[in-house]
Structure 1
């Protein structure tokens, strides 16, 4: 498998355009102004990322909005300083990259921090939602001090950064992996900082700002009508009230419209397909079996409908993850073996195939190697950060012992290498799949009170190490292609970990404070239902022997889901190898599984976003290619940023003034009369 970008001898030179510019040193790249902007953007994208994750359970890459906004804010900040009479140097692409990697790391801390899954999965609320009326106190973590969460996030995230450092040279210089997102980011930043790219950047920033204002304004307007349960535009029964009961609705969410514009059409259609199969076919069929296959009416008990939802979803996701993981391992092994046969060096092999490296490649390799972090320091950094974690984590969570944590950190480098290599080839990290298996393995290892919490803590350790390390190396690829010092990049990533560890728990706390009275994050009535929190905890329950409590035929349906997933993946793999066109129409089974648990409503928004992009491309493909991502970024950031004032309003118990609700024809008069009759008569003073 060739992971190179193409023949560099025929590529136009980028670095010659910047040849006249003096390359700044480390502290000319890690500047006060870049770090100040990173704090602001890191906080904003922490809000955005956590809100999406806690609402839908998934999040698409926000690298492009971060990329464009970092350019815009740095330029605006410098112009502001000059307007007040301060003399300041022009900002460089290296500063732009530093902001990008710092903010991206902060966002990755939010994503891997577990606020939408394993953290909420530790609570008694989620434990009870899975049918455990009186969970063991050692298997529950409620009201964990925010300061301790900050410490936990910091130690596990720093291990992730230290894990990536020894891999950077191997992945980027020796094996010349593409890291598609990192490469695209580099091209965009390089174009922004050339005279030819200034107009494009200005146009994209203007587009983001306009749609940001529109999205924010619409979200404020929608909030005014959302007082009470099931009120507001988010509960618009576009397909009728009967389908609305099965969560087929359009919620006017700019966020998911924007995410739908970023996601490929096939992903959006696979999500909709999964929603139709689950909530439109499978679950209505299971509802007819109430009293035969299961007897509880609780919508959250694993002994009822929720058992089918959770375990069918788990089966599909884990099976698909295992299949793809094994495929990637085999492919990576074959590729590595070929490179070793070619004199054990990806770079040597590359030079044999291309005897004369072009100016850009020579310059990038030279700058990268001059600023490379020595192997002894990088390995020592990993050992030191892992040792601190081994001491600190058992102190924070006494359910997990030091030898459990030590075992995880012994095997993490090997798994991180495979995961980062796969990410460089495919732009896809399987860190969450490893995390789910870690829950199961650790819970099965302990098998006593506290095993579930220990498994969830271990999951957090594994996800942080794998996800943050692979994304950090991807950002290093961007730095490599913009002549940004690796040492400066690691400093920026460390600052991003510090910002993320402090800011993200505070954002989560603000979300908690902003909830409706007597409603907790993770409950179905919450603004942030965290749909995968129950799934993560359920895996721990399985590890401790909870499968016996499942409803009838649940395991049979899981086995059927397993077989369908394997068959679909095998057909997809074979069709790709054979060149059959059918592989273009086969859905990704992990994507299909997401609505099984999260519901189909957000998939409708995403498909509408995909339809908008399709029509736009038909009408003006050049405009769509240039501005569609900017439009999506504005839509996502506008609604996401309203989480801040919404949380502040919630803290002060300010509720929306109106409720807009829909009722079946003929019943609205009775409902309104009943409502008016039950109103308390105001006391006259």
Structure 2
């Protein structure tokens, strides 16, 4: 029966028994709404920036939860010291704040500003040798006002689509939703008297990491007074490896991200960087003139074709493999539950005398504030209809009936399977589902405009599916913290609302301050958006637009498929049989990213992993309590500095020093001679 039945574990809810339980407006407060806007902006800013540079973003559930708690708890304490009577900060209010922030961040990485929106531009089309003269498959400018409406209603559709499944997933199927469960334990710990000491330690560690990261970013800025200057281009392993983008760029935010991302993913990134930049690309470069005749980065008939399609093949193959695995696990689990006659489990939980105190209390709140399934269905239908009007209003290449077909046939099926898979494994494969939508729509439209139509359909699906799976995770957290499901859903709606305003503004800022000679999405840009090329390439494959590839490119792709399937099968078998080998098999998506973005950031991520491993060896308890906080401080400190540095750029305040690195010999003599003619004292090399 239910694994929670019994009194073997100490009761959580008895600790909170004497505390008053506030109603809806006691949990949804004005102060939490204001703080949510601030931290939603900060974490969305950092997430979009990371995604544009690396093409990979770690989960911010833990860091955001800690920072949210610290901020609002400190604010309440400050007001009380000033003699202002304020209501206590409860875990239910904490849950509303957390839900609002993480929903906005989730939308930030789903709304395409580093993927499918960039994939629509002519600059990205040129990099794939796609003819940008066909304007039907190019969108240079997306009206952000209209796109804000698109974000809101597709995100709201995701929230509505999961409402009819809430009781089924949380009560009937009793799915774990690992991240949601861990966050619930964290919130419960914070708000108990026993958690106060730990919270103080985390506050100190957070502030130290944030100030250290911010100060280091300010220091680095002084040495970036020119092109390719500063510590970010430090040839750590020598100039030859630097040319192949193997170097440590002293980015503490990437180091912090490496502390959050699982070790296996980080080592997979490093391994992918070594294999691609150290073995495969040098071999392919030696074949110039035989297999291909250009090394231009703006065409697919040269070495760029190998890079994009081999990386794309590994990502898509792993996604399809995971999709198949999760669907099989879901069908087996559903069959087992049907054989157990599990449909009456809710009545059993309510009536069974052995039910423990915590479960009774949680069920009382959960079922007493249940969400009407009909309201979710009606809301989803309404949002789908509105989206069918808004989407062609922004992207005229897609028709309203395309959007309706996607929303009423594809998304409901994918929503159920993705939520169920997330509950079982904590792994959302929404990007894979959306690539399937992308490919199918591109193949069905199959005429000028199919690329943009498929990218728009992919965007609507990605936002909706990502929001729905994260929303169910939050419902699980709310269940375990005695937060009303209605409050959690209110947090989702509020998060989607602020995301539809904040995220377009963030993108406009990045777009405005990107160099005109190197716009977002280009190889030379500060924001190359490596995943964008993969999205457009897949759309082109669906329409049959890519007709010329270098020699043996398909052979390499076929080899990538075989290797991916073999490794994924080996990992699946080793997990089922609990072999130690499972901890050493790399994630193929992580291995593929350096093929698309280069290996530079993999060094930073790996250093973050080594820092965490050493810290754990020295003091495991300290690492478990403080590592997420330190990582969050490093990421936020470095990310926040970008805003004042951009403001300085607006007022033409340039860094005073340029630090460059040259090979010894004639180059140094030429540089010295040139500098002597300038009489410049502020430049160093």
Bin the TM-score by the shorter chain.
over 0.9
- Does the CA contact (< 8 Å) of 2:164 and 2:374 recur in 1? no
Q: 1:304 to 1:8 in 2, by over 3 A?
A: farther
Alignment gaps of 5+ in structure 2: 681-685
Q: 1:486 to 1:667 in 2, by over 3 A?
A: farther
Q: Distance in 1 between the 2:426 and 2:137 partners?
A: 36
**Matched residue SS, 1:537:** helix
Q: Distance in 2 between the 1:128 and 1:15 partners?
A: 59
- Number of the residue aligned with 1:95: 93
Q: Distance in 1 between the 2:655 and 2:164 partners?
A: 52
- Does the CA contact (< 8 Å) of 2:4 and 2:359 recur in 1? no
Task: Give the deviation of 1:583 after TM superposition.
Answer: 2.6
**Matched residue SS, 1:88:** coil
Range that drifts further, 269-278 or 144-153: 144-153
Are 1:628 and 2:627 counterparts? yes
Q: 1:673 to 1:424 in 2, by over 3 A?
A: same
- Number of the residue aligned with 2:550: 551
- Does the CA contact (< 8 Å) of 1:339 and 1:346 recur in 2? no
Are 1:595 and 2:594 counterparts? yes
Q: Distance in 2 between the 1:435 and 1:346 partners?
A: 35
Alignment of 1:157-556 (within 5 A): 157-345=155-343, 347=345, 351=349, 356-410=354-408, 411-556=410-555
- In the superposition, the TM-score normalised over structure 1's length comes to 0.96
- Does the CA contact (< 8 Å) of 2:327 and 2:417 recur in 1? yes
Task: Give the deviation of 1:351 after TM superposition.
Answer: 5.0
Q: Distance in 2 between the 1:429 and 1:48 partners?
A: 21
- Does the CA contact (< 8 Å) of 1:343 and 1:349 recur in 2? no
Alignment of 1:527-676 (within 5 A): 527-673=526-672, 675-676=674-675
- In the superposition, the TM-score normalised over structure 2's length comes to 0.96
Q: 1:632 to 1:525 in 2, by over 3 A?
A: same
Q: 1:347 to 1:579 in 2, by over 3 A?
A: same
Task: Give the deviation of 1:680 after TM superposition.
Answer: 12
Q: 1:518 to 1:241 in 2, by over 3 A?
A: same
**Matched residue SS, 1:9:** coil
- Does the CA contact (< 8 Å) of 1:108 and 1:467 recur in 2? yes
- Number of the residue aligned with 2:54: 56
Q: Which of 124, 135, 139 pairs up with 2:133?
A: 135
Q: 1:346 to 1:506 in 2, by over 3 A?
A: farther
- Does the CA contact (< 8 Å) of 1:339 and 1:349 recur in 2? no
Task: Give the deviation of 1:349 after TM superposition.
Answer: 10
Task: Give the deviation of 1:373 after TM superposition.
Answer: 1.1
Q: Distance in 1 between the 2:230 and 2:347 partners?
A: 61
Q: 1:88 to 1:314 in 2, by over 3 A?
A: same
Length, aligned pairs only: 679
Range that drifts further, 76-85 or 127-136: 76-85
Q: 1:345 to 1:284 in 2, by over 3 A?
A: same
Task: Give the deviation of 1:674 after TM superposition.
Answer: 6.9
Task: Give the deviation of 1:104 after TM superposition.
Answer: 0.3
- Number of the residue aligned with 2:32: 34
Q: Distance in 1 between the 2:78 and 2:344 partners?
A: 46
Q: Distance in 2 between the 1:581 and 1:75 partners?
A: 42
RMSD: 2.0
Q: Distance in 2 between the 1:38 and 1:330 partners?
A: 39
- Does the CA contact (< 8 Å) of 2:662 and 2:668 recur in 1? no
**Matched residue SS, 1:135:** coil
Task: Give the deviation of 1:281 after TM superposition.
Answer: 0.4
Range that drifts further, 89-98 or 148-157: 148-157
- Number of the residue aligned with 2:65: 67
- Does the CA contact (< 8 Å) of 1:510 and 1:647 recur in 2? no
Task: Give the deviation of 1:646 after TM superposition.
Answer: 2.7
Alignment of 1:105-124 (within 5 A): 105-124=103-122
Q: Distance in 1 between the 2:670 and 2:35 partners?
A: 51
Task: Give the deviation of 1:5 after TM superposition.
Answer: 6.0
Task: Give the deviation of 1:21 after TM superposition.
Answer: 1.1
